[in-house]
Amino acid sequence: MLFYDCPEAYDLFYNENYRNATKDFFKILFKNKPVKSILDCTAGTGQTAMPLTQLGYDLTLSDINKNMLKKAKVNFAEAELMANFVNSDILNISNKIKRKFDVVMSSGNSLAHVKNIDLTAAIGQMDSVLNSGGYLYFDTRNWDLILKRKQRFYLFNPIIRDKGRVNYIQVWDYNRDGSMTFNFLIFEEIENKIVSKRQFYVIYHPFTVDFISSILRDTYHYQDIKIFKMGNPRDTDISESNWYSVFARKPFNEELENLKK
């Protein structure tokens, strides 16, 4: 079963501490930036985007998976937060959303769902709904590090509950075509007995830092490209970091004309 067809399992590892840390992170990232409107075009269940609404931004969420988007609506309603919701593939944003934003972001390692051959087009779609001079943001696993280490097992700390706990393990398969299959194993214990077992999978398409940087810099002429440890804009050493973020400014129209000369 595909992991993203089960949003309840996806939401297991998000909590108030995560949302508070995310809020603090975006406060730092957008400080003194002219940001009012934000689109998260791979929003999932909205866990990363919720703090943005709490910070007062005009927020739109889109996602290709209707189940995830439905859960996002529930999450926002339960938190008494407002946002706009659009069901859209990242490769089709410009046909579904007819306005532009100050920030367009892709949260949750989502760009790796796109095949490398389509990654330039995906960035182009994000760019198409971004205001001149606006900011593009995404976070991702550090695929350079993953491909270097060839790690197979990825363990998470268990979630402790009143009568037991939830255990979560990932097993990574390195496929011949360059893609990776992440197998998710989730099992719940109550009073030292396993009472439920669930197995999911996701296929990712790893990309290097150099590849994504060249798309931003050489194809779309983005400026002030910053790459840093996820959650800490001040730490730019990602060599041993499992996740990183990219934040870049789209050139103003007159800037772009000069860059193309």
36-76: pLDDT as tens digits: 999 999 999 999 999 999 999 999 999 999 999 999 999 99
Task: Report the predicted TM-score, pTM, of the whole model to 2 decimal places.
Answer: 0.94
Other Cβ atoms within 10 Å of 58 Cβ, number: 16
CA distance 133 to 251: 5
Q: How far apart are CA 222 and CA 60, in angstroms?
A: 23
Number of H helices, E strands in the chain: 9, 12
CATH code for the domain of 109: 3.40.50.150
Find out whether 47 and 21 touch, Cβ atoms under 8 Å. Answer: no
Asked whether 169 and 154 are in contact (CB, 8 A), the reply is yes
Q: Based on the domain organization, do 39 and 72 belong to the same domain?
A: yes
- Tens-digit pLDDT profile for residues 108-159: 999 999 999 999 999 999 999 999 999 999 999 999 999 999 999 998 888 8
Exposure letters 128-149 (e unless 16+ CB within 10 A, then b): ebbbeebbbbbbbbbbbbbeee
Strands 58-63 and 84-87: parallel
Q: Residue 261 — very low, low, confident or very high, per pLDDT cuts 50/70/90?
A: low
User: What's the mean pLDDT when you consider all of the chain?
Assistant: 93
Q: Which amino acid is at 240?
A: E
Residue 243 has pLDDT above 70, yes or no: yes
Residue 6: inside a domain, yes or no?
no
Give residue 183's pLDDT: 96
| 1 belongs to a structural domain | no
The runs of H, that is alpha helices, within the chain are 7-10, 16-29, 50-54, 66-78, 93-96, 116-128, 143-149, 209-214, 253-260
Count the domains in the chain. Answer: 2
* Best CA proximity match to 71, nearest among 110, 108, 45: 45
Whether 35 is covered by a domain: the verdict is: yes
Which residue carries 């508070």 as its tokens? 20
Residue 136 shares a structural domain with residue 154: no
92 and 122 in contact (C-beta within 8 Å)? no
Q: Are 86 and 177 in a shared domain? A: no
- Asked if residue 7 is part of any domain, the answer here is no
Taking only the tens place, the pLDDT of each residue in 17-47 is 989 999 999 999 999 999 999 999 999 999 9
- Residue that is last in its domain, among 204, 230, 249: 204
Q: What share of the chain is helix, strand, coil (3-state, %, to 5)?
A: 35, 35, 30
- 132 and 255 fall within a common domain: yes
Query: What is the CATH classification number for the domain harbouring 184?
Result: 3.10.450
Task: Identify whether 5 is part of a domain.
Answer: no
Q: What's the token pair of residue 227?
A: 């790459």
Q: Are 85 and 19 members of one domain?
A: yes
Q: For residue 160, give its domain range.
A: 145-204
Asked whether 124 and 95 are in contact (CB, 8 A), the reply is no
Which residue has 């994000």 as its token pair?
126
